[in-house]
Amino acid sequence: MERKFDITLRSRYPELWRYNIVLTCGCFNAEGERIDFLSKESNIAPVGANLAEPPKEAMQSRDIEVKTPPCSNIVLYIYIIPHTLPTTREVEEYAPFDFSIKVTAGKEEIYSVVHKVNQWSGASIELKLPQAK
């Protein structure tokens, strides 16, 4: 069954400015053929920038929203890439932060999970949706 998927990435972590966020989405028909490809990025600085403070534009909402064309399933790759590392090496001072991924199709919630993101390594997340039941 083909339907449009709405994908939302969100985090309220105050230091999210230290990360670039990349979303890629392959859209597939019932036969498994890719019919579209979407991507969206929220970049603040090049990897290794080690900024002393957040740029002014980084303090705006970093939510990412993508809507797919009608398709049967999607494959998402989400990358949260640190460009500025924590100021200390004390792990207990920088616990993983929350990063929410929500996918809906109309009124149906397909996926809604809060992922934990390591502050030093970031995250690479692969999702194939909808998942087999």
- What does the DSSP assignment read for the chain? --B--EEEEE---TTGGGEEEEEEEEEE-TTS-EEEEEEEEE--S-TT---SS--GGGGS---EEEEPPSBSEEEEEEEEEESS--S---GGGS--EEEEEEEEETTEEEEEEEEEEBTTTBEEEEEEESPP-
Residue 23 has a CB neighbour count (10 Å cut-off) of 20
Residue 132 has pLDDT above 70, yes or no: no
Task: Give 91 or 94, the one with higher predicted confidence.
Answer: 94
- Kindly state the average pLDDT of the residues 68-78: 98
Position 86, amino acid: P
pLDDT classification of 133: cutoffs 50, 70, 90: low
Task: Give 26 or 91, the one with higher predicted confidence.
Answer: 26
Tell me, what's the pLDDT at 60? 79
CA pair distance 23, 68, nearest whole angstrom: 13
Record the pTM.
0.93
CA pair distance 75, 94, nearest whole angstrom: 31
- Kindly state the average pLDDT of the residues 72-91: 92
Residue 90 has pLDDT above 80, yes or no: no
